[in-house]
Amino acid sequence: ETGVTQSPTHLIKTRGQQVTLRCSSQSGHNTVSWYQQALGQGPQFIFQYYREEENGRGNFPPRFSGLQFPNYSSELNVNALELDDSALYLCASSLSTDNEQFFGPGTRLTVL
């Protein structure tokens, strides 16, 4: 059984640019959640997608947006990058909305 995968592993962008991060959920999982983890902090919830619909959003501005596809993979898009967006971005998938969430390895984003 393949676990959660994320791409790319690392990314360097400059302030004002846009970025797209990708996530493939674990087989059989229909729910994907995205988190941002700054250095030395716990992950912060960005949003969750269930069966291609947004199913909850954390305290992040609208320039953070997402998509979920029919195969339940997902994308996180961030527009107008700011220096504070530098972090580890984690994707987690689950069987459904209230089941255990299994995390991918993350994408390390650096904004210069």
Closest listed residue to residue 90, CA positions, set 70, 73, 76: 76
3-state secondary structure of 65: strand
For other proteins, the closer CB: 13 or 108? 108
- In whole angstroms, how close is the CB of 110 to other proteins at the nearest point? 13
Q: How far is the CB of 16 from other proteins (least distance, A)?
A: 27
Site of interaction with other proteins (CB under 8 A): 4, 6, 31, 33, 35, 40-45, 48, 55-56, 58, 88, 90, 92, 97-98, 100-106, 108
Rounded to a whole number of angstroms, the minimum distance from the CB of residue 64 to other proteins is: 14
CA pair distance 88, 97, nearest whole angstrom: 23
For other proteins, which is the closer residue by CB, 68 or 101?
Answer: 101
Q: Which residues contact 68 (CB under 8 A, 6 or more apart)?
A: 32, 49, 50, 51, 52, 53, 74
